[in-house]
């Protein structure tokens, strides 16, 4: 089945550790996105990528890094510089410009 796979679903980390969230899609979509959602809040854009080897900062990129070495994959690293990393992280992708954007199931990150 085509879709977007995020892993892990739940992740616990100690403060000061970097953590990488995986996002893989087999929809042949060009664009991929990472969003963060805090309880009771909307989605805020972290990074987005329109093509391989290119990505742009979203509204809250500080403390995060991404790579786009393959069309199917857009991993997000939450670094120790991110002050409040505990949140729900959503990966999304879309095809041609203007097309609907689809989401993965999300990853819950808790930093203790």
Partner 1 sequence: EDKVVQSPLSLVVHEGDTVTLNCSYEVTNFRSLLWYKQEKKAPTFLFMLTSSGIEKKSGRLSSILDKKELFSILNITATQTGDSAVYLCAVCGIIQGAQKLVFGQGTRLTINP
Nearest to 63 by CA among 44, 46, 75, 39: 46
Q: Is 40 in the site for partner 1 (CB under 8 A)?
A: yes
Question: Which of 19, 24, 33, 46 touches partner 1 (CB under 8 A)?
Answer: 33
Could you tell me where the beta strands, DSSP code E, fall in the chain? 4-7, 10-13, 19-25, 31-37, 43-51, 54-57, 64-66, 76-78, 87-94, 101-103, 107-111
Half-sphere exposure of 35 (CA within 13 A, CB side): 17
Q: Is 92 in the site for partner 1 (CB under 8 A)?
A: yes
Q: Is 39 in the site for partner 1 (CB under 8 A)?
A: no
What binding mask, one character per residue, do residues 43-72 give for partner 1 by CB under 8 A, x or -? Answer: xxx--x-x-----x-xx-------------
Residues that bind partner 1 (CB under 8 A): 31, 33, 35, 40-45, 48, 50, 56, 58-59, 90, 92, 94, 97-98, 100-106
């Amino acid at each position: 089945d085509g879709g977007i796979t995020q892993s892990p679903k739940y992740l616990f980390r100690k403060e000061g550790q970097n953590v990488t969230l995986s996002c893989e899609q087999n929809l042949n979509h060009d664009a991929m996105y990472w969003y963060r959602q805090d309880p009771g809040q909307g989605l805020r854009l972290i990074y987005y990528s329109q093509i391989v080897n290119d990505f742009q900062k979203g509204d809250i990129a500080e403390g995060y890094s991404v790579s786009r070495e393959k069309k199917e994959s857009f991993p997000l690293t939450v670094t120790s510089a991110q002050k409040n990393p505990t949140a729900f992280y959503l990966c999304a992708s879309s095809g041609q410009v203007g097309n609907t954007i689809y989401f993965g199931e999300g990853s819950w990150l808790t930093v203790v």
